[in-house]
A = this chain, B = another copy of it.
Amino acid sequence: MPAPLRLISSSPSSNPLITRLCTYAALSPEEIAELEAAFERRLLFKKRRDVILEGYESHRLHVAVSGFAARYKLLANGKRQVIGIVLPGDIIGMPSAFFRSSLYSVTALSDMTAQVVRLDAFLALCQRIPALAIAMLWHSQREIATYADHIIDVGRRSPLERIAHFVLEMHARLRAAGCAADRSFELPLSQEIIGDVLGLSAPHVNRMLHQLKAEGLISVDRHQITIDDLESMQMLAQFEPPSPLIRAGSSY
């Protein structure tokens, strides 16, 4: 079992969501303290445990602190589509917690820890701290952009391009979360899960992964991925590193 991911750099908070929100809007130390206090407890989810089940009510926000999870939906024909991979700093119950019943399920792909806050308590805080509400709005925009890229991936990229794009996206997001090195990172996902992310069959994921290796673009050892030829990968995947958000209050 992989060692749990940890934040590397020093941060304004031990809660990776708070760290991230601070990059979106200016939060005072008191506001940060108040926000930290709102989180109730830290939970541990074992690998393969469901964190959220579609159809059930759960009006809590779980913030992933370490580990991986997948947000997914099961279809009647037995197929499964993964909506997205949840990484440290991501909000697990987004968007499900905002709806009467959960829209999608979330399952832990590795052991993972999460911090929890009730949605109503969190929204009350947003009400009192405008900067928090605005930071969350920004956070949502990032999320939307991630989803949009996923649509492009699945809709119009070739299987090889999809895999390349997925690897680069995971790397970029993990790096932003302080959980990846310059050109290598740990990705404990089965090929079956990757297939369900990208709308491919597991055997085909296997083949495409081998092709990327054969062409010298990446190498894989255990679940440690190294990007050997970043430029070719970006070219192949048409990958654009995430554009910076405008900063609230900056002049533009």
Which chain A residues have a beta carbon within 8 Å of chain B's beta carbons? Answer: 57, 59, 71, 73, 75-76, 79-81, 83-84, 94-95, 98-101, 103-104, 119-120, 123, 126-128, 130-131, 133-134, 136-138, 140-145, 147-148, 150-152, 154-157, 196, 198-199, 238, 243-246, 248, 252
A83 to B73, CA, bound (A): 20
A79 touches B156 (CB 8 A): yes
**Inter-chain contacts of A243 with B (CB < 8 A):** 99-101, 103
| Given A75-B156, A144-B143, A238-B75, A99 contacting B151 (CB threshold 8 A) | no
- Given A145-B103, A154-B199, A199-B155, decide whether A98 and B133 contact each other with a Cβ distance below 8 A: no
Q: How far is the CA of A154 from the CA of B157 in the complex (A)?
A: 12
The complex places the Cα of A156 from the Cα of B155 at a distance, in Å, of: 11
Q: A145-B99, A246-B59 are in contact. Are A152 and B73 (CB under 8 A)?
A: yes
Q: Which residues of B contact A142 (CB under 8 A)?
A: 95
Q: Distance in Å from the Cβ of A5 to the closest Cβ of chain B? A: 24
The residue in chain B whose Cβ has the minimal distance to the Cβ of A79 is: B156
- How many copies of this kind of chain does the complex include? 2
Bound CA span A147–B153, Å? 13
Q: Considering the chains assembled together, what is the distance between the CA atoms of A83 and B71 in angstroms?
A: 20
Report the 9 A-B pairs with minimum CB-CB distance, sorted nearest first. A140-B140, A133-B133, A155-B199, A147-B147, A95-B141, A81-B156, A98-B141, A79-B156, A81-B155
Asked whether, in the complex, the Cβ of A245 is within 8 Å of the Cβ of B150, the reply is no
**Which residue, A71, A134, A155, A198, has most C-beta atoms of chain B within 10 A?**
A155
Q: Which one of B59, B141, B154 contacts A151 once the chains associate, using CB atoms below 8 Å? A: B154
CB neighbours of A126 from chain B (8 A): 130, 133-134, 137
List, in ascending order, chain B residues with CB within 8 A of A154's CB: 151, 154-155, 199
Given contacts A99-B145, A140-B137, contact A151 B83 (CB under 8 A): yes
Shortest CB-to-CB span from A199 to chain B, Å, is: 4
- A123 vs B131: C-alpha distance in the bound complex, in angstroms? 10
Please give the distance in Å from A235's CB to the nearest CB on chain B: 9
Which residue on chain B has the smallest CB distance to residue A157? B75
Q: How far is the CB of A56 from chain B (nearest CB, A)?
A: 12
